[in-house]
Amino acid sequence: MTSKALLTITLIIILTTAATAQTYEENLAKGAATTEQNFLNAPFVKPKNWKTPYTGPTYWPIFENRGPIDRSPADKPSKVLVMGSGDPTPNPYRYGPALAVIVNGYPYFIDCGEGWWRAMGKSVQSQGAVDLASVFALQNLKYMFLTHLHEDHTVGLPSFISSPYKFGPGAEKKIYGPAGVDVMIANLNAAWRIDRNEMMQGSTMQKADGATAIGVPVWPLTDPKGRKIFEDDNVSVEAFPTEHGFLQHTYAYRFTTKPDGRILAFGGDGHYSEGLANAARNADVLFIESITRKNIKFAPWGGDTEEEKVKIIGAYHMFPKDMRKLQKNSGVKQIVMIHVQNYNDPEHFDRLGVRDEMRAEGVENILLAEDGDLY
C-alpha cells in the first residue's frame, strides 16, 4: 500500500468517526443519557423532562450515593448491617427497609423490605469487616422482627421465607411482629404452596414436614414501658408500642447485645411517642425513619395544601422537631437515618438535605445510612 492510499484510509476513518461521535448533550437530547452513564458508571443525572408514572418529576430524586462505610466501633464485635435504607419510592440504589443485628456471627433481622434477598447478597460483597458470607449461612436465616405490617416493610417476606429454600436445608423461620403477622405468614406459606410442593418432590434438599415459617404475634403490647419478647445467648429483645398513622399496632425494638453490651434501637416508622423514647433510652444507636419538613410541599400524598400535608404526614412520620424531642427525651447517643423521605425541590436536589434539616433543628450526632453500611 502506498503512503498516499494509507493517508486516504486514515482520513476516511477520522471523518467517519467525527460524523458519528456525539457530545453528551447530543446523546441526552436523544434520550441516550442512561446508556452513556452505564458505560461511564457516573452518578445518575435526571434527564430533561424525566417522568415516571408512579411518582412524578417534581420529587424524583437524583440518585447520587456514596459507597458503603464501616462506621461501627472497632472494639465492639456486635454490628448492625444496613441491608436496605430505602423508603417506598423505587430508588434503584436503596433496597427496602432491612437491617440485621449481628452477634457472635449470627444475624437477627429487622424489617423485610423490597429486595430483601438481593440486599443481603449485595451487602456480603460490600463489607469486609465481618465475614457476612458465613453470617448469612442458610441455617442462620431464622429470626425476623417486623416493626409493623405496612407493605414497604414486609414485601420482602416471600424472599426471606422461600428464596433460601432453593439452596438447601435451612431453619424454620420465626417472624415476630404486630397482631396479624401470624395470618400474614400463614397466607404467604399458602400462596407459595405450589412451588414448595414441587421442590419437595423434585429436590432432595427439602423435607415435607413443618411450615417454612411461622408468624409470632407480639400482642397485646400497649404499655409504653415495653416488654421483653425474645432472649437467647446473644441478645435480649424488648418491644415498645409506637405511633404511626392509623395502624393499631406498631413497634420499636430494643436489642441488648450480650457479649459487648451495646444497646441498639430500631424505631420503624412513626412520629414521636413515649414508647419510642423508651425504646431508645440511652441507646448507643437508634435506626429511625425521617422526613423533610422544609420540602413537605413536594410530597405526593397527604392532601393538597402544605398545611394539610403537615397535619396528615405528621401523623405518620418523623419531622425534625419530633426527632429533636426524641433525642432530648431518650438520651440516645447516635441517630442513623434510614427510610428518609426527601421530597426535595427537583431543581436543587440535595442528598443530605434531610440530615442537614435535622442538624439545623438541633439534632446532634445524626447520620444518613446507605445500603451496606455497618454501625
Interaction site with Zn ion (CB under 5 A):
150, 152, 269
Nearest approach, Cβ of residue 28 and Zn ion (Å): 34
Nearest approach, Cβ of residue 358 and Zn ion (Å): 18
Closest CB to Zn ion among 106 and 316? Answer: 316
Nearest approach, Cβ of residue 314 and Zn ion (Å): 14
Cα(239)–Cα(145) distance, rounded to whole angstroms? 10
Closest CB to Zn ion among 150 and 351? Answer: 150
Closest CB to Zn ion among 249 and 293? Answer: 249
Closest CB to Zn ion among 113 and 164? Answer: 113
Q: Cβ(63)–Cβ(43) under 8 Å? A: yes
Which grid coordinates are listed for 351? 442528598
Q: In what order do the strands lie in the sheet with 366-368?
A: 227-231, 235-241, 251-257, 263-266, 285-291, 334-341, 366-368
Nearest approach, Cβ of residue 149 and Zn ion (Å): 9
Nearest approach, Cβ of residue 113 and Zn ion (Å): 8
Closest CB to Zn ion among 250 and 327? Answer: 250
Closest CB to Zn ion among 111 and 284? Answer: 111
Report the relative pairing of strands 173-177 and 143-145 from DSSP bridges: parallel
In angstroms, the Cα distances linking 50 to 121, 130, 152, 245, 299 are 31, 40, 24, 31, 17
Closest CB to Zn ion among 99 and 235? Answer: 99
Closest CB to Zn ion among 150 and 262? Answer: 150
Handedness of CA 181, 186, 188, 191 (dihedral sign): negative
Which grid coordinates are listed for 253? 425494638
- Minimal CA–CA distance to 256: which of 228, 223, 222? 228
Nearest approach, Cβ of residue 269 and Zn ion (Å): 4
Nearest approach, Cβ of residue 120 and Zn ion (Å): 19
Nearest approach, Cβ of residue 250 and Zn ion (Å): 7
CA angle 194, 208, 229 (to 5 degrees): 95
Cα(305)–Cα(317) distance, rounded to whole angstroms? 17
Closest CB to Zn ion among 152 and 370? Answer: 152
Which grid coordinates are listed for 289? 425513619
Nearest approach, Cβ of residue 335 and Zn ion (Å): 17
